[in-house]
Amino acid sequence: MTHSRPLLTLLILIIAALTIFPVFGDEFYQELVIRLMIMGIFAMSLDLLIGYTGLVSFGHAAFFGLSGYMLAIITPETEAVSIWIALPFCLLVTALAALIIGWFSVRTSGIYFIMITLAFAQMFYYYFNENQYLGGSDGIFIFFKPTIFVGDIQILNLNNPQSFYYFVLTSLIGSYLVLSVILQAPFGQVIRGILANEKRTRALGFNTQHYKLVSFVIAGTLAGFAGFLEAAAGGIISPAHLGWHESGAIMMVVILGGMGTLYGPILGAFVMGFLQDYFQEIWSAHWLLLFGMFIIFVVLFLPKGIAGLFLQTINRKGNGK
Amino acid sequence: MSAPLLVVQNLSKNYDGLLAVDCVSINFQTMEVHAIIGPNGAGKTTLINLLSGDLLPSLGRITFKDRNLTDMPSFAISQLGIGRSYQKTNIFPDFTCWQNCWLGAQSRLSTSMRFFKSAKNYAKIHQQTEQALALCGLEKHTDNLASEISYGEQRQLEISMMLATEPELLLLDEPLGGMGTSETQKMIKLIKQLARDRTIILIEHDMDAVFALADTLTVMVNGKVLATGTPDEIRKSQDVQNAYLGTEEENK
């Protein structure tokens, strides 16, 4: 994934806008943007599967929600937990879950892959939905955000809304960079090969199932990171976070934003978030109707999503070269 | 004669009762060009698919340099040094020519589970990719998308991609299929050049090319081996005349 100059400009503009936003935006919108940045991380993690490896996972929210529950479990009722304990714990559990689910799932393909990932996610959903100890269908509160101490010094106080905002922004940028690096590396070349032509990739000497599994684990773990942030941001995690609605919504974000681009899903998260906010304002009872029409419009007229529209525009302008 | 490089013994492939390959035994000698000819439906492509691991045999045994390949998946067979091209061009159309070959070369890293160093910074792969492209005369298309080059060049690219994996045995499934005269000449020249230090198993319908290239010929009909021999022996064989070559001549 090479960054052309217009794309680099776009990314810098996005980062700049997000960086100065808390100075102007009021608290409500700041809260909203935090959630959208988290959604961006979640969507990028799914893009690694759908847009780069060709694995259409319909159960990706399982990792998102599972990690949130892990934060709830490891956070005591009366005090905060150190991020150095909580984050590795959440990511490790999610990675393990992704390894197990992935091990079964990558053996299938096409519609069967969609069904098996959905089935696993629904198992998680019903488990947490029935578990009274974890709040059942109401979910469970997380009263304290994790603390970040090095020695006795607090590096960052996540309870401060602005600090938390910048923590999430850094996470978003960091996730983007890590994924970009992975996609440039030999591993990234192989999964692109799998997406384009799996049989040929195998015949060239790659055990494609291994690569699909590793991609699944990376994506699941990153979704777990987003879930960790989501649970910390909202202070609550519920079965809805890992249901098929959530898996479907995040898939929509990826498709809307543009598969196989990484930045597209981030844009998709923002467009989706603000449109939801806007549609709810203008026609609160039937906002989903407006939303559905918008999705149909995008799928029909912008098959490559918002990122595709962007690429089209810059290609038209830069046709000279 | 030294031990054969690849030994096929009693190999059969059964598709729901249809014996596409029926108890085939062939020895492929090191450094020869061994062509497999026969009418459509003789089981030639199925045989290649069995050798490359794209299909698993129903019965029989395949041995490559004393290693049993019979139930190996295609990626493992490729890792042993057996490369293949497909009858129907099988490349990565949205990749550049460079990226196509690059992926082939990259498969020779001990593992591609490498996540941090950019793929561009592996010098050895660079060199392998460059060599593979140069061998097939595709240097000028390095940065072109595979979907944008001509059909003949795509066939060459497929071979180039395979060469990037540095195989010692090449399985070529109708490399001349659908090509024009000048492209055919180019490809024959290329195969001759490759044959200098590699073993080649070739399926081809173009009889002029087959007789120009092959050291040994095997004729297949209805999934069975009808005859194996030098081009001269095959040409003179009455059985082969009756079953295959004769009709070919009449069609001309």
Residue-by-residue DSSP string for A205-267: T--HHHHHHHHHHHHHHHHHHHHHHHHHHHSEE-GGGGSHHHHHHHHHHHHHH-TT-SHHHHH
pLDDT beyond 90 at A121: yes
Cα angle A42-A26-A225, degrees, rounded to a multiple of 5: 20
Q: Under 8 Å CB-to-CB from A312, ≥6 apart: which residues?
A: none
pLDDT band per the 50, 70, 90 thresholds, residue A2: low
**Half-sphere exposure for A238 (CA within 13 Å, toward CB):** 9
A3 close contact with B: CB closer than 8 A: no
pLDDT beyond 60 at A319: no
For residue A203, list chain B residues with Cβ-Cβ distance below 8 A: 52, 54, 74-75, 78, 84, 90
Average confidence score pLDDT of chain A: 92
ipTM reported for the complex, 2 dp: 0.90
Q: Are B187 and B152 in contact (CB under 8 A)?
A: yes
CATH number of this structure's domain B1-81+176-252, picked from the four choices 3.90.1170.50, 3.40.50.300, 3.10.20.600, 3.40.50.1820: 3.40.50.300
Q: What is d(CA B79, CA A311) in angstroms, rounded to the nearest whole number?
A: 39
Whole domain around residue A226: which residue ranges? 5-317
B160 close contact with A: CB closer than 8 A: no
User: What's the rounded mean pLDDT across residues A70-93?
Assistant: 94
For residue B115, list chain A residues with Cβ-Cβ distance below 8 A: 181-182, 185, 187
Q: What is d(CA A251, CA A247) in angstroms, rounded to the nearest whole number?
A: 6
**Could you list the pLDDT tens digit for every one of the 252 residues in chain B?**
578 999 999 999 998 888 899 999 999 999 999 999 988 888 999 999 999 999 999 999 999 998 999 999 999 999 999 999 998 889 999 999 999 999 999 999 888 888 888 888 889 999 999 999 999 999 999 999 999 999 999 999 999 999 999 999 999 999 998 888 888 999 999 999 999 999 999 999 888 999 999 999 999 999 999 999 999 998 888 888 877 665 554 444
| Domain chopping of chain B, boundaries | 1-81+176-252, 91-166
pLDDT band per the 50, 70, 90 thresholds, residue A61: very high
Q: Is B153 exposed, middle or buried (0-12, 13-18, 19+ CB in 10 A)?
A: buried
Lookup result for tokens 């108890």: B23
Read off the CATH number of the domain in which A48 is found: 1.10.3470
Pairing of strands B33-37, B199-203: parallel
Pairing of strands B18-28, A140-141: unpaired
Q: Are A106 and A266 in contact (CB under 8 A)?
A: no
pLDDT beyond 80 at A157: yes
> Tens digits of per-residue pLDDT, B76-114?
999 999 999 998 889 999 999 999 999 999 999 888 888
A200 close contact with B: CB closer than 8 A: yes
For residue A204, list chain B residues with Cβ-Cβ distance below 8 A: 75, 78, 103-104, 107, 161-162, 165
Q: Are A276 and A249 in contact (CB under 8 A)?
A: no
Asked if the Cβ–Cβ distance from B115 to A185 is below 8 Å, we say yes
Q: What is d(CA A260, CA A239) in angstroms, rounded to the nearest whole number?
A: 29
Domain count of chain A?
Answer: 1
Q: Where are the alpha helices (DSSP H) in chain A?
A: 5-24, 27-47, 61-74, 83-105, 111-130, 161-184, 186-203, 208-234, 244-257, 263-282, 287-301, 305-317
pTM, to two decimals: 0.92
pLDDT beyond 50 at A280: yes
